[in-house]
Amino acid sequence: MKLTTCVLLVLWLLLFGCSPKPVYVPVSERADQSTQTGQQDVKRPDTQVSGQKDRDRAAIEEETLQRDLERQRMLQEQMKKEAASLFKDILFEYDSYSVRSEYEGLIKEVATFMSRNQNAKVTVEGHCDERGTVEYNLALGQKRAEAVKSLLVKTGVKEERVKTVSYGKEMPVDPGHTESAWAKNRRAHFKME
């Protein structure tokens, strides 16, 4: 539901928002309209012919541009979808910020994905479970995010394409107070920009 609204909004923006003209008219109907409104025609009849051509060309370019944008958007969306399914959370031991060796494969997959999608940027979020102090957990979350980032950088991802942010214990994925909830909350989460 939300996604549909987003897509519609983006389409609407593409069609109307970025266009220098207030109304988009398909090329086939354009000639008619210009004679109908005809304001410029009356005021500057000598520029009518060349003006008409310019406008046609601009409209075509615009359409191509929009098609490109749309394609890019679709690609971006597809990439994010792929990333979301690919980028599982990295879980940590209590009070630890070393990435366990079992996540080597995941780090490599993320790095491969980043090299396939050269425009992609990722934010690594560091999170902690509730069994610690607010302040220490904020620092710990940062270290978890940094640990994952440094592994990505070692695997060949450019440093400037990876951001880090710590949420400490402020945003648990599972609000429970059990071992299994805590285990899920001690995580580094990948988020595509």
Q: Which residues bind other proteins (CB under 8 A)?
A: 95, 130-136, 138-143, 146, 163-168, 170-171, 177
Smaller CB distance to other proteins: residue 46 or 160? 160
Residues 186, 129 contacting (CB under 8 angstroms): yes
Closest distance of CB 193 from other proteins, Å? 11
CA distance 24 to 17: 10
**Residues 6 or more apart in contact with residue 27 via CB below 8 angstroms:** 56, 59, 60, 63
Closest distance of CB 92 from other proteins, Å? 14
Closest distance of CB 127 from other proteins, Å? 12
- Partners of residue 126 on adjacent β-strands: 166, 188
Closest distance of CB 131 from other proteins, Å? 6
CA distance 156 to 150: 10
Closest distance of CB 155 from other proteins, Å? 17
Q: Which helix (H) or strand (E) is 109 found in, with range?
A: helix 104-116
- Eight-state DSSP code of residue 160: G
CA distance 18 to 101: 48
Q: Which helix (H) or strand (E) is 158 found in, with range?
A: none
Smaller CB distance to other proteins: residue 34 or 137? 137
Smaller CB distance to other proteins: residue 80 or 163? 163
Smaller CB distance to other proteins: residue 34 or 189? 189
Smaller CB distance to other proteins: residue 106 or 140? 140
CA 95 from chain center: how many Å? 31
